[in-house]
Amino acid sequence: MIGSLSSGGLKPLRASQARRQTAHTNGCRTPLVVRAAETYSRDFSKAPRLIQHKNEAKAFYALLSQVYDYVVNPGHWTTDMREDALQPAQLNNPDLKVVDVGGGTGFCTQGVIKAGIPAANITLIDQSPQQLDKARAKPDLKGVTILEGDAEDLPFGTDSFDRYVSAGSIEYWPEPQRGITEAYRVLRPGGVACMIGPVHPTHPISRTMADLWMLFPTEAEYLDWFKAAGFTDVQLKRIGPQWYRGVRRHGLIMGCSVTATKPGPGPSPLQLGPKVEASEQRNTSPLGFLLRVVLGSLGGFWYFLLPVYMWLKNLVWPRTGPLADKF
């Protein structure tokens, strides 16, 4: 919908050179700038990201699951965006075996089925039992194998699937690189991984709220993680709600679709050692846990208000060009 980058295009984005791209959105040409500040991997210890931990995320989704399909999707993850994001995954053969990791209520899985993959060939896995209950209740997901499990430690054999899809999950992974190496492991040679997730804001208020809530990777971080895991042909496609008209300074909960190919059999050549869950090293008292969930949710609430604001702005701002580069 909004543009694409490839691993081969990452080099020019280093240092002070920002690459300007042009998008066609709502009939207007919108200049998009990949700022130099977005091209470097960050020190992950400098942002609280209070819900980027499995226990906190599980508690957060125990509540959010009740309204997820009615609140999150309309503002951040529409059916048009879903089709646009899944297009590079090459879901073009009904014989493909597909795993949807962090699939939640099954909204992305529904898109995989719509693309032509039969339910019997799809496995959906998520750590939230409440989200999975919503998925099991959807008639069009009947026949999908639905499992509770960990994206960073998948209960599948090596070289098991033709396609790996994950939408709106990486932002909660304590070790995103580990989750991507798992994607590599479970794919068959020639298999394609498709990771759909947020992009980091450049606006100071939205950046503060995003970092309070969860992980918003930069575009360069996605590319670097996939290449480090051993993937080839790494591509990044920008997506976003139509009414944002190309605006990305506030970050997007669903802002890009990254696809990559597994070149050969076996696990990832990147060896990470034992898994570490960062939240277990923090204050595990009930009060500390509650404070993290509540404060982290405040950042999430900002991203509930933001698409409403952008929708209203789209209604009143002249349609002949991009939205003004202000708040």
Rounded to an integer, what distance in angstroms lies between the CA atom of residue 108 and that of residue 73? Answer: 10
Question: How many domains in the chain?
Answer: 1
Q: Which domain holds residue 101?
A: 3-22+30-36+45-316
Q: Are 315 and 225 in contact (CB under 8 A)?
A: no
pLDDT score of 15: 28
Q: Are 69 and 107 in contact (CB under 8 A)?
A: yes
- Tell me, what amino acid is at 74? P
Residue 3 region by backbone torsions, left for phi larger than 0, else alpha for psi between -120 and 50, else beta: left
pLDDT score of 282: 52
* Residue 321 resides in a domain: no
* Residue 239 resides in a domain: yes
* Residue 251 resides in a domain: yes
* Residue 324 resides in a domain: no
DSSP H/E element including 124: strand 122-126
**Does residue 54 carry a pLDDT above 90?**
no
* Residue 323 resides in a domain: no
* Residue 326 resides in a domain: no
Angle between the N-to-C axes of helices 129-136 and 68-76, in degrees from 0 to 180, rounded to the nearest 10 = 90
Q: Which residues pair with 150 in a beta bridge?
A: 153
* 276/315: higher pLDDT: 315
Question: What digits encode the pLDDT tens for the residues 184-241?
Answer: 999 999 999 999 999 999 999 999 999 999 999 999 999 999 999 999 999 999 999 9
Q: In CATH, what number is assigned to the domain containing residue 187?
A: 3.40.50.150
Q: Are 42 and 218 in contact (CB under 8 A)?
A: yes
Q: Are 117 and 91 in contact (CB under 8 A)?
A: yes
Q: Are 199 and 219 in contact (CB under 8 A)?
A: yes
Place of tokens 């869950």: 277
**Does residue 13 carry a pLDDT above 70?**
no
DSSP H/E element including 82: helix 79-86
**Does residue 146 carry a pLDDT above 60?**
yes
Q: Are 177 and 156 in contact (CB under 8 A)?
A: no
* Residue 260 resides in a domain: yes
pLDDT-derived band at 318, boundaries 50, 70, 90: confident
H-only helix segments in 90-203? 107-114, 129-136, 176-186
Mean pLDDT across the chain? 85
**Does residue 4 carry a pLDDT above 80?**
no
* Residue 327 resides in a domain: no
13-22, 79-88, 139-148, 262-271: lowest mean pLDDT where? 13-22
Q: Which of 262, 258, 235 is nearest to 158 (CA)?
A: 262
pLDDT-derived band at 41, boundaries 50, 70, 90: very low
Rounded to an integer, what distance in angstroms lies between the CA atom of residue 180 and that of residue 193? Answer: 9
pTM to 2 decimals? 0.84
* 29/153: higher pLDDT: 153
Per-position DSSP letters for 164-192, written without gaps between them: EEEES-GGG-S-HHHHHHHHHHHEEEEEE
- Tell me, what amino acid is at 232? T
- Tell me, what amino acid is at 306? L
Could you tell me how far CA 319 lies from the centroid of its own chain? Answer: 29
Rounded to an integer, what distance in angstroms lies between the CA atom of residue 71 and that of residue 69? Answer: 6
Place of tokens 């699939």: 103
Share of the chain above pLDDT 70, in %: 83
